[in-house]
Structure formats: structure tokens, C-alpha cells
Chains A and B, each alone.
Chain A
Amino acid sequence: GESVGLHLPTLSVQEGDNSIINCAYSNSASDYFIWYKQESGKGPQFIIDIRSNMDKRQGQRVTVLLNKTVKHLSLQIAATQPGDSAVYFCAENFYNQGGKLIFGQGTELSVKP
């Protein structure tokens, strides 16, 4: 079926530590995944994406890993800062169904100073 789920609803880390947010998906035919960050009172903001022909993609302080064998992806945030506190969503893009995004439940990241 169409579902994208997260293992942990909340994550608390110390400032400066690395954060890892996990996500499982169910559709083995999916080939495009996106991570979004949503700050309080705002809309989701694109962080990084990855296509199924890649295992890893790096951005500024963020890395996304994709394991197609177990249908799992993760978002790693290096040197987490207070400004990283937000809810993080993984989303699966069904481009053959009009491009709709199927979102996971979200993980709330809290960064302690």
C-alpha cells in the first residue's frame, strides 16, 4: 500500500551532536523521496531529495541515505543547531500518480543548548 512511516515521533539531541531521523516506506516501486522540515507555524520546507538510483546524497550539513533492500531512508544532520528544531517529514513522490506526495507521520527534533 501507500504509506511512509517513521520509527520515532520525537528526538532530543544536544547542540553540536549529530541527529539521525529514520523513515520506512512500503512501495518498492517508489523512486523519488524528499525530506521536509516544518518549523512551527510555517509550511514544510524542502531539505534534500534522493532518487532510487542513488544510495546517498549530501547537502549542507545534511545527508540522506537510501536502502532499497529494506525500504528505509534516513536523514542525518551534522552538528545539530538550535535552528534545526522542527518537525521533519519524509515523503514519497508518486510521479505516475500526478506527483502527489505521501508523507510520513513526522519526527519532532528538539535541540538542547
Chain B
Amino acid sequence: DTAVSQTPKYLVTQMGNDKSIKCEQNLGHDTMYWYKQDSKKFLKIMFSYNNKELIINETVPNRFSPKSPDKAHLNLHINSLELGDSAVYFCASSQTRPYEQYFGPGTRLTVT
């Protein structure tokens, strides 16, 4: 069984559109994260939720809105997509303490 899953794996869309990426974890973890990986493979934290509560928001444009309906899900909605949003987005989860984070397979977003 997949521990952290994301859908879709690939997403191609035009500038100005609104899109969502879904993430689910079946590990029973309390905390979930979104990371962005750019074309140079640099990984940067975007958001973190703990028990459905937002605890990290790393100066991400407010076009990005995470939503956590329950602690097993953390979705990422992006409004008015821009070319610079093209990247691979990774969801991750962990226990609340400083334990390792488990990453999903990533969603490659291409904005044209």
C-alpha cells in the first residue's frame, strides 16, 4: 500500500487557470507538508498542517491555498496559475515530533 499518495502525477495547464493537487497519507501521521522542487532540484517547504491546523506558511503567494479536511488529507489549490508555478510539488507527512518525513511521488505541474 502506498504510504503517501498524490494525484495527479502530471498536470499541464494554461496560465490563469485554477488547479488542485490532492494528497493522502495512510500512516496515521499528525502532520502533513507541501514542498516545491524547482528545475534545479531545490526543495523548499511551502506549508505544514498539524491535526488540520496550519502551522507553517513560508511566504507563499496567497494564490496558493492548502486545505486539510482531515489529518489524513492535505490538498493544495492554486489560483491564477503563473509560468513560475511550474515545478514538482511534493506532499509529505510525519509524526508531530521531529521524526522523518515520508514523501509522496510528486506532482509535476507545467504551466504554459
Q: Which residues of A contact B (CB under 8 A)?
A: 32, 34, 36, 38, 41-46, 49, 87, 89, 93, 95, 97-103, 105-106
Q: What's the minimum C-beta distance from B89 to chain A, rounded to whole angstroms?
A: 10
Total B residues in contact with A, Cβ cutoff 8 Å: 28
Is the beta-carbon distance between B41 and A46 smaller than 8 angstroms? no
Could you say which of B14-22, B68-76, B78-86, B93-101 contacts chain A? B93-101
- With beta carbons under 8 angstroms apart, the residue of B41, B58, B97, B105 that contacts A87 is B41
Q: A42-B105, A102-B45 are in contact. Are A95 and B100 (CB under 8 A)?
A: no
Q: A43-B90, A87-B41, A100-B56 are in contact. Are A93 and B98 (CB under 8 A)?
A: yes
Counting chain A CB atoms within 10 Å of each CB, which of B35, B44, B100 scores highest?
B100
Q: What's the minimum C-beta distance from A106 to chain B, rounded to whole angstroms?
A: 5
Q: Within 8 Å CB of B97, what residues of A?
A: 95
Counting chain B CB atoms within 10 Å of each CB, which of A44, A46, A87, A97 scores highest?
A44
- With beta carbons under 8 angstroms apart, the residue of A34, A43, A89 that contacts B100 is A34
- With beta carbons under 8 angstroms apart, the residue of A46, A89, A95, A98 that contacts B43 is A89
A95 to B45, alpha carbons, bound, how many Å? Answer: 13
Which A residue's beta carbon lies closest to that of B43? A103
Q: What's the minimum C-beta distance from A10 to chain B, rounded to whole angstroms?
A: 12
Q: What's the minimum C-beta distance from B76 to chain A, rounded to whole angstroms?
A: 15
Is the beta-carbon distance between A49 and B42 smaller than 8 angstroms? no
Q: What's the minimum C-beta distance from B25 to chain A, rounded to whole angstroms?
A: 12
Q: Within 8 Å CB of B33, what residues of A?
A: 99-101
- With beta carbons under 8 angstroms apart, the residue of B4, B48, B104 that contacts A99 is B48
Is the beta-carbon distance between B100 and A103 smaller than 8 angstroms? no
Q: A44-B103, A100-B58 are in contact. Are A105 and B98 (CB under 8 A)?
A: no
